[in-house]
C-alpha cells in the first residue's frame, strides 16, 4: 500500500514540476509576447516592460523549484532521505508560494490552484505513503 501511495505522490510531484517549468517558460522566455500578457493580466507593452525584470527572476525561481522536485524524484529510490528532503522542500515551497499568492490577492484563486494543487496532492500522498510504511 505504501509503495502505491508513494508512486501516486511522485506522479503529482512530477506534474507540479512540469507546471513550474511551464510557468518558467512564460515568465522568463515568453514574457514579452501578447499571448503571455493575457495570461497574467498585463495590459500592454509598457506594463510588460516594467514587470519584465521581476517576471524573469520569478520564472527562474519556478524553474529551480521544478529542478529540486525532479532531482528529489530521481534520488528517491536510491537515497530515500535525500530524495524526500528535496521533494518536501521544493513541493512545500511551491505550495507555500501558492498560499502566499492567494492570501495577497483573493482574485488570484485560479492561478493559486494551478500552482498549488499538484504539490499539495504530491505531499499528501507522500506523507500517507510514509505513514503506511
pLDDT for 52 equals 96
> Taking a C-beta distance cutoff of 8 angstroms, is the pair 16, 94 a contact?
yes
Question: Which of 83, 81, 71, 80 lies closest to 17, judged by CA?
Answer: 71
Of the CA atoms within 13 Å of residue 20, those in its CB half-sphere come to 30
pLDDT for 1 equals 64
Instruction: Report the alpha-carbon distance of residue 93 to residue 97 in Å, rounded.
Output: 6
Query: Per residue of the chain (133 residues), what is the pLDDT tens digit?
Result: 689 999 999 999 999 999 999 999 999 999 999 999 999 999 999 999 999 999 999 999 999 999 999 999 999 999 999 999 999 999 999 999 999 999 999 999 999 999 999 999 999 999 999 999 8
Please give the C-alpha separations between residue 129 and each of 2, 7, 60, 133, in angstroms, as whole numbers: 4, 9, 31, 6
> Taking a C-beta distance cutoff of 8 angstroms, is the pair 51, 42 a contact?
yes
pLDDT for 133 equals 80
Amino acid at each position: 500500500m505504501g509503495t502505491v501511495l508513494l508512486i501516486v505522490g511522485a506522479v503529482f510531484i512530477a506534474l507540479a514540476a512540469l507546471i513550474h517549468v511551464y510557468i518558467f517558460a512564460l515568465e522568463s522566455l515568453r514574457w514579452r509576447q501578447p499571448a503571455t500578457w493575457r495570461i497574467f493580466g498585463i495590459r500592454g507593452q509598457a506594463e510588460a516592460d516594467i514587470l519584465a525584470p521581476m517576471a524573469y527572476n520569478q520564472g527562474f525561481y519556478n524553474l529551480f523549484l521544478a529542478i529540486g522536485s525532479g532531482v528529489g524524484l530521481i534520488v528517491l529510490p536510491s537515497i530515500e532521505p535525500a530524495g524526500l528532503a528535496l521533494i518536501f522542500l521544493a513541493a512545500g515551497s511551491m505550495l507555500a508560494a501558492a498560499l502566499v499568492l492567494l492570501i495577497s490577492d483573493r482574485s488570484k484563486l485560479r492561478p493559486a490552484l494551478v500552482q498549488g494543487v499538484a504539490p499539495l496532492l504530491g505531499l499528501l500522498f507522500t506523507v500517507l505513503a510514509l505513514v503506511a510504511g
